[in-house]
Structure formats: structure tokens, C-alpha cells
């Protein structure tokens, strides 16, 4: 994989987290664009390893429920995983 592809993949994941996943509802705030960036490296690795949706879901669900202390939205997170897998096909 070239650096350009890596950068594009990172950017795609970061933007998807901010605009589509957004469990705390900050996507309309331009100042919060990097709020979820700390989750990008792990998701990047999972995507590059072609992890199945359940593994990606478990990672995101753990962030929502355990790390953020939210109730979580199972259906929305499952839909996001499908979206993420689709836009990051490598």
C-alpha cells in the first residue's frame, strides 16, 4: 500500500466517524472535527486486516458503551459498520 492510499483510507475513516457514526452528536460542529481521531488507527488496522463486521462492531460498541458511558444505539452502530466496510474496501 502506498502512503497516498494510507492517507486516503485514514481520512475516509476519520470522516465517516465524524459524520456518520457520531455517537455524541457533534457532527454539525466544525471545531469538533477531530473528536474521534483517536479511534482511527485501530479501525484502520481492522479494515486493513479485513476484519469482519462483528469485530468492528465490538470495537465501536465498546467505545460507545464502556468508554463514553452511553446507552449505545445497536442498530445505528451496525448500520455504520456496514457503511464503513463499504467505503473502505481495499
What is the pLDDT, as a whole number, of residue 6? 85
Domain ranges across the chain = 3-87
What is the pLDDT, as a whole number, of residue 5? 58
Distances (CA, A) of 15 to 10, 69, 80: 9, 22, 12
E strand or H helix at 55: helix 53-62
Which residues of the chain fall below pLDDT 70? 1-5, 90
Give the predicted TM-score (pTM) of the model.
Answer: 0.90
E strand or H helix at 53: helix 53-62
Q: Which of 40, 52, 46 is nearest to 7 (CA)?
A: 40
Amino acid at each position: 500500500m502506498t502512503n497516498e492510499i494510507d492517507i486516503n483510507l485514514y481520512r475516509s475513516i476519520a470522516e465517516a466517524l465524524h459524520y456518520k457514526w457520531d455517537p455524541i452528536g457533534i457532527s454539525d460542529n466544525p471545531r469538533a472535527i477531530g473528536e474521534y481521531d483517536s479511534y482511527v488507527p485501530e479501525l484502520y488496522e481492522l479494515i486493513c486486516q479485513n476484519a469482519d463486521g462483528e469485530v468492528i462492531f465490538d470495537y465501536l460498541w465498546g467505545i460507545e458503551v464502556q468508554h463514553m458511558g452511553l446507552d449505545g444505539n445497536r442498530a445505528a452502530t451496525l448500520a455504520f459498520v456496514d457503511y464503513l466496510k463499504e467505503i473502505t474496501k481495499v
